[in-house]
C-alpha cells in the first residue's frame, strides 16, 4: 500500500488556508494545519478531516514572531507523520501601515508572518523536501506588482516573498520545486464581510468594476492551483501565477 503524502499548510485554520487543506485532504494527503490565534478553528478542521479518515490531520500552534517556535514547528511537523512532501507558506498578517504611522513592531509582525517564517521553514525542511522530491508553494499577493496604498510594509514583505520564491527555486533545484500563487480578490476582507451598508457596497462595486471577469474568485481557485503545482506541475518551478480575474491588466 502506498504511503500517503503529507502537506504542511501555515495559516490553515480559515479562509484560503483551510480551502487548501481541504483540497489536499480530499486527494489523499495527510494534513498538518498550522495556526496561531485560530486554534479552535484549526482543531475543528482536523476533526472534520479525521472523521472522513482517521489519523490524517493534526493542528499545530506556532507564533511566527518567535524564531524558536518557527523552527519547533518544522521539527514537530516532520516528526508527526514521519515525512513532509509539500510546504505551503500561506500564513500572513495583513493590515495598513501608512508611512508616517508605521512602527518597528509593525515591520516585525508583517515581515515575520509573510516572509521570515516562510524562509526558515523552507530552510529547516529542505533536507526532507529534497529526500521526497517535494514542493514549496508560497502564497504571495497580486499587489506585489500593483502596490496597495497605505500598506507599504505588507507590500514590501510580499515582494520579498516573491523574490524568495524565485531565488529558492534556483537553489533547491532540481530536487525541490518552488512556486508562488498571487491571489487577487478572492474573498472580501473580513471587515467588509461584517458590514452591510452603502459604503461597503460602493467599495465592493468599485472592486468588481476593476476586474475583467466582473466577480471575485473562490478559495478553490487558489487551492486547485496549489494542488496542481504539487502534483502535476513537475516541470514548473520559479513561477508566480496571478489568480485575479485579470484585474492586474486593468
Q: Is 187 exposed, middle or buried (0-12, 13-18, 19+ CB in 10 A)?
A: middle
Distance CA 76, CA 119 (A): 17
- E-only strand ranges, the chain: 6-9, 30-35, 57-61, 86-89, 135-139, 177-183, 240-243
Distance CA 4, CA 172 (A): 23
Closest CA to 90 of 187, 177, 181, 11: 11
- Told to judge if 154 belongs to the known catalytic residues of this protein, a careful annotator would answer yes
List the grid coordinates of 187.
474573498
Task: From the candidates 80, 154, 227, 235, give the one annotated as an active-site residue.
Answer: 154
What are the catalytic residues? 154
Amino acid at each position: 500500500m502506498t504511503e500517503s503524502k503529507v502537506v504542511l499548510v501555515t495559516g490553515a485554520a480559515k479562509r484560503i488556508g483551510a480551502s487548501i487543506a481541504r483540497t489536499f485532504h480530499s486527494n489523499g494527503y495527510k494534513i498538518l494545519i498550522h495556526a496561531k490565534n485560530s486554534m479552535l478553528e484549526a482543531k475543528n478542521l482536523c476533526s472534520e478531516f479525521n472523521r472522513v479518515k482517521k489519523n490524517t490531520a493534526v493542528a499545530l500552534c506556532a507564533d511566527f514572531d518567535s524564531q524558536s517556535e518557527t523552527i519547533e514547528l518544522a521539527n514537530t511537523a516532520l516528526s508527526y507523520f514521519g515525512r513532509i512532501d509539500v510546504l505551503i507558506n500561506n500564513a500572513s498578517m495583513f493590515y495598513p501601515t501608512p508611512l508616517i504611522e508605521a512602527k518597528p513592531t509593525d515591520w516585525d509582525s508583517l515581515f515575520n508572518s509573510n516572509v521570515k517564517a516562510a524562509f526558515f521553514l523552507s530552510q529547516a525542511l529542505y533536507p526532507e523536501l529534497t529526500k521526497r522530491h517535494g514542493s514549496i508553494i508560497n502564497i504571495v499577493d497580486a499587489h506585489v506588482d500593483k502596490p496597495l496604498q497605505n500598506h507599504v510594509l505588507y507590500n514590501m514583505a510580499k515582494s520579498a516573498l516573491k523574490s524568495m520564491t524565485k531565488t529558492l527555486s534556483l537553489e533547491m533545484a532540481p530536487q525541490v520545486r518552488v512556486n508562488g500563487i498571487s491571489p487577487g480578490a478572492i474573498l472580501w476582507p473580513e471587515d467588509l464581510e461584517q458590514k452591510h451598508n452603502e459604503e461597503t457596497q460602493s467599495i465592493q462595486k468599485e472592486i468588481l468594476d476593476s476586474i475583467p471577469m466582473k466577480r471575485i474568485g473562490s478559495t478553490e481557485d487558489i487551492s486547485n492551483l496549489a494542488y496542481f503545482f504539487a502534483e502535476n506541475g513537475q516541470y514548473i518551478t520559479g513561477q508566480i501565477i496571478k489568480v485575479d480575474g485579470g484585474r492586474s491588466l486593468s
